[in-house]
């Protein structure tokens, strides 16, 4: 199977870590969404990453759909079977992804806007979402076990992206999240290597 991804993308990192945990062999191929490469556009009309292409030619996107696919396909489960716990997991993963969505909007506003069109109130709005999300997540981090769950992977991807793009801007008031990356790396060193990187 082939995964079209970017090393800096938190969504790509989450999926690559999930593949490692579930034991699903994938070939990771870096792509630039801005270039709209044919292998990405032909397999995902949205031109977004990550996009997974199975050996049978099935295309799976976005990251949460890929996570579910890996959970069902792999030898190791990353989602709980209990319905109540599964709902809690889904909500926490959505929270992590939503924080990442707001972070990316901040990055894109600075990256793609001219000085004249840059809109600080928009960035401030997104940053308030980030801080509220982090405040909520700070009180809901699940305990780590022998193997990371989907929530652990989502948090690791988020914290890795924060360290990559927002170092020094989010840590205050979030000591547990700040400590999470170290603990995650110590507990799951092989998986932690796949966290977002430049």
pLDDT digits over 129-186, tens only? 999 999 999 999 999 999 999 999 999 999 999 999 999 999 999 999 999 999 999 9
Helix (H, G, I), strand (E, B), or coil: what is residue 90?
Answer: helix
Which among 103, 90, 101, 92 is positioned nearest to 162, based on CA atoms? 103
Where in the chain are the domains? 2-73, 83-188
pLDDT of residue 108: 94
Q: What is the pTM of this model?
A: 0.96
Token pair 């792999």 is at which residue? 74
Residues of the chain with pLDDT under 50: none
pLDDT of residue 152: 98
Class of domain 83-188 as given by CATH = mainly alpha
Peptide bond into 62 cis (omega under 30): yes
Q: Which residues, other chains included, contact 28 with Cβ-Cβ below 8 Å and sequence gap of 6+?
A: 2, 3, 5, 16
Fold observed for domain 2-73? Glutaredoxin (3.40.30)
pLDDT of residue 192: 96
pLDDT of residue 116: 92
Which structure tokens are listed for 38? 């044919």
Find the helix or strand (DSSP H, E) in which 27 lies.
strand 27-30
Which structure tokens are listed for 67? 């996570």
Token pair 């008031």 is at which residue? 173
Instruction: Give the whole-number percent of the chain exceeding pLDDT 70.
Output: 100
């Amino acid at each position: 199977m082939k995964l079209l991804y970017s090393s800096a993308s938190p969504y790509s990192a989450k999926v690559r870590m999930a593949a490692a945990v579930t034991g699903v062999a994938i070939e990771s191929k870096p792509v630039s969404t801005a270039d709209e490469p044919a292998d990405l556009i032909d397999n995902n009309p949205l031109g977004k990453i990550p996009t997974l292409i199975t050996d049978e030619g099935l295309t799976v996107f976005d990251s949460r759909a890929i996570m579910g696919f890996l959970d069902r396909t792999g030898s190791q489960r990353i989602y709980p079977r209990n319905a109540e716990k599964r709902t809690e997991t889904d909500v926490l993963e959505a929270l992590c992804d939503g924080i990442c969505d707001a972070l990316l909007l901040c990055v894109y506003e600075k990256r793609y806007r001219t000085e004249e069109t840059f809109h600080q109130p928009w960035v401030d709005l997104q940053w308030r979402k980030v801080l509220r999300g982090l405040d909520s997540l700070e009180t809901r981090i699940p305990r780590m076990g022998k193997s990371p769950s989907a929530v652990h992977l989502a948090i690791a991807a988020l914290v890795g992206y924060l360290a990559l793009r927002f170092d020094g801007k989010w840590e205050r008031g979030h000591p547990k999240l700040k400590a999470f990356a170290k603990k995650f790396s110590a507990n799951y060193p092989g998986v932690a290597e796949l966290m977002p990187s430049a």
